[in-house]
Amino acid sequence: MKPIDRTEVQNAIDSFAGQDVYLHLETTNGAYATHVDEAFFSAGAYIRNAFIQYEHGKIVGDGPYRIGLKLNIGWVYAEGVNHFEVDDQGRLLVAGLDFSGKLAVSMQLSPTPFE
């Protein structure tokens, strides 16, 4: 993965708009609770192979970034992303790594289901 290039990521987001795609989205303690003792607080979310279609998507911010996808029934977004790649299967993989390099948030879009 490499640091986010907003133009490259926006182009990838645009390439999936209006199509049926599979979404993977997860957060870990790092996304919201890096400053809190894990013995007292734990947070996370995980969804894999959600079959969605979004009208449009956008990456915003100055880094770390926020990616939002506008569905016909609402929004999906990931906040705190700072790295990405488009892999050899055409999937957009976006991650937010915390100050120590640990994964805090991940958003992935694919034309085929994730394994």
- Around 86, how many Cα atoms within 13 Å sit in the side-chain half-sphere? 12
| Rg, the chain, Cα only | 14
- DSSP-assigned letters across all residues of 82-110: -EEEE-TTS-EEEEEE-TTS-EEEEEEEE
Residue 115 lies in a domain: no
Give the total number of structural domains in the chain: 1
Residue 62 structural domain: 2-110
Residue 58 lies in a domain: yes
- The two tokens of residue 8 are 């490259």
CATH code, domain carrying 67: 2.70.180.10
Residue 16 lies in a domain: yes
pTM of the model: 0.86
Residue 50 lies in a domain: yes
Residue 22 lies in a domain: yes
Q: What is the pLDDT of residue 40?
A: 57
Residue 76 lies in a domain: yes
φ and ψ at 24, to 5 degrees? -120, 130
Question: 10 by DSSP, 3-state: which?
Answer: helix
Going residue by residue through the chain, which has 115 residues, state the pLDDT in tens, using 9 for 90 and above.
999 999 999 999 999 999 999 999 998 865 445 555 555 566 778 899 999 999 999 999 998 999 999 999 999 999 999 999 999 999 999 999 988 888 889 999 999 999 8
